[in-house]
């Protein structure tokens, strides 16, 4: 496990292995101040937390000499990726979204601005084949092509898993700041498997959507999702979402099922419970404080909803993660 101060630039090409192994540090000409947290769990498996402050737009020229399959979740900030020879196509990784990438021996650029944090579980192709021997055909075909950069549905559980991994790696690096870490390598391995499985499932969920929803409706549904989750203490009405997005109530309900694999209020409740779990894990706040902040006046109702989602009461969850 290590934490390395990294300085981003927009000029020289950087190999991924050098970047990760701390062998490439450049002058802070761009005002970028970044760090990389890394936990190697076994041969062919690393957890990476990449975070930083980019005071001006910064582009890094990269060469992937590592040959790993990366399952990533952006926790803060947006970034853009472009592969050389991909006809100028840019891949946007927005805050709260996920992606799967595999670009062995490819060159490209990675661009950032402002605050940024992402969590990546990085696997060798051999290890992924052991974990998921029956990988979906379209994803396997993309991996076999040796050039993959695709979005996956990053649901509340995947983001919560990325959050706890980020917190755990910070605890290994700076235990005096976040409290003594008690997470064994086996726990980190389990969380890594969860994140990979959710990303693979998220890729499968998004595969047919382009054929069933128009691009305009997808944008409206994403807008509806943003409005729905803007305040997790109180859900807006479906009528309000319909009015704000220009979609009928029927289209909203059907669209949420197609795009997010959940009902409107089912998605809201899942996000609310995962936010509750994140707060209980990361902040140590009392159960009643978290319940109140998320719109619950009755602690027993909050406890029942939490147990329904995770199979354990919030009080028991806190005890298990102290």
The CATH number of the domain holding residue 297 is 1.10.10.60
Query: What does the pLDDT read at residue 321?
Result: 67
Which of residues 206, 224, 248 is at a domain's end? 206
- Residue 178 pLDDT grade (very low, low, confident, very high; cuts 50, 70, 90): very low
Average pLDDT of span 73-94: 83
Instruction: Let me know whether 305 and 220 are in one domain.
Output: yes
Average pLDDT of span 259-275: 90
Instruction: Let me know whether 46 and 165 are in one domain.
Output: yes
Which of residues 169, 190, 206 is at a domain's end? 206
Instruction: Let me know whether 110 and 237 are in one domain.
Output: no
Query: What does the pLDDT read at residue 77?
Result: 87
Instruction: Let me know whether 79 and 177 are in one domain.
Output: yes
Distance CA 139, CA 118 (A): 22
Query: What does the pLDDT read at residue 60?
Result: 85
Instruction: Let me know whether 232 and 273 are in one domain.
Output: yes
pTM of the model: 0.67
256 and 263 Cβ atoms separated by less than 8 Å: yes
Instruction: Let me know whether 202 and 215 are in one domain.
Output: no
Instruction: Let me know whether 143 and 228 are in one domain.
Output: no
Query: What does the pLDDT read at residue 27?
Result: 37
Instruction: Let me know whether 93 and 216 are in one domain.
Output: no
48 and 1 Cβ atoms separated by less than 8 Å: no
* 89 or 205: which leads in pLDDT: 89
CA-closest candidate to residue 88, choices 60, 57, 109: 109
76 and 30 Cβ atoms separated by less than 8 Å: no
H or E element at residue 37:
strand 32-42
Instruction: Let me know whether 26 and 140 are in one domain.
Output: yes
Query: What does the pLDDT read at residue 128?
Result: 94
Which of residues 162, 190, 206 is at a domain's end? 206
Total number of domains in the chain: 2
Instruction: Let me know whether 201 and 213 are in one domain.
Output: no
Average pLDDT of span 31-44: 86
Instruction: Let me know whether 176 and 69 are in one domain.
Output: yes
Domain that holds residue 282: 209-320
pLDDT at 100 over 70: yes
Per-residue tokens: 96: 């709260």
pLDDT at 23 over 80: no
* 304 or 22: which leads in pLDDT: 304
Instruction: Let me know whether 172 and 71 are in one domain.
Output: yes
Which of these ranges, 50-54, 60-64, 70-74, 317-321, has the smallest mean pLDDT?
Answer: 317-321
Per-residue tokens: 68: 């790993």
């Amino acid at each position: 496990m290590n934490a390395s101060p990294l300085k981003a630039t927009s000029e020289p090409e950087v190999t991924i292995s050098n970047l990760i192994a701390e062998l490439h540090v450049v002058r802070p000409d761009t005002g970028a101040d970044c760090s990389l947290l890394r936990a190697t769990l076994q041969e062919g498996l690393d957890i990476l937390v990449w975070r930083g402050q980019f005071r001006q737009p910064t582009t890094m020229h990269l060469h992937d000499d590592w040959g790993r399959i990366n399952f990533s979740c952006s926790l803060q900030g947006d970034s853009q990726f472009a592969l050389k020879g991909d006809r100028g196509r840019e891949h946007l990784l927005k805050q709260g979204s996920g992606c799967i990438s595999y670009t062995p021996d490819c060159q490209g650029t990675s661009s950032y601005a402002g605050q940024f944090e992402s969590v990546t579980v990085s696997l060798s192709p051999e290890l992924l084949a052991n974990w998921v021997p029956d990988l979906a055909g379209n994803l396997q075909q993309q991996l076999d092509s040796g050039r993959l950069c695709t979005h996956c549905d990053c649901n509340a559980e995947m983001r919560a898993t990325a959050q706890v991994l980020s917190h755990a790696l910070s605890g290994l690096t700076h235990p005096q700041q976040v409290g003594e870490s008690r997470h064994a390598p086996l726990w980190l391995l389990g969380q890594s498997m969860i994140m990979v499985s959710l990303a693979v499932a998220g890729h499968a969920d998004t595969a047919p959507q382009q054929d069933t929803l128009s691009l305009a409706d997808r944008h409206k549904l994403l807008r509806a999702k943003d409005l729905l989750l803007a305040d997790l203490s109180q859900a807006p009405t479906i009528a309000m979402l319909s009015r704000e997005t220009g979609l009928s109530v029927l289209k909203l309900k059907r669209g949420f099922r197609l795009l997010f694999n959940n009902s409107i209020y089912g998605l809201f409740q899942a996000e609310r419970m995962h936010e509750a779990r994140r707060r209980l894990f990361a902040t140590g706040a009392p159960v009643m404080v978290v319940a109140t902040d998320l719109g619950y006046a009755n602690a027993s109702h909050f406890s029942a909803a939490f147990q329904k989602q995770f199979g354990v009461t919030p009080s028991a969850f806190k005890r298990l993660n102290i």
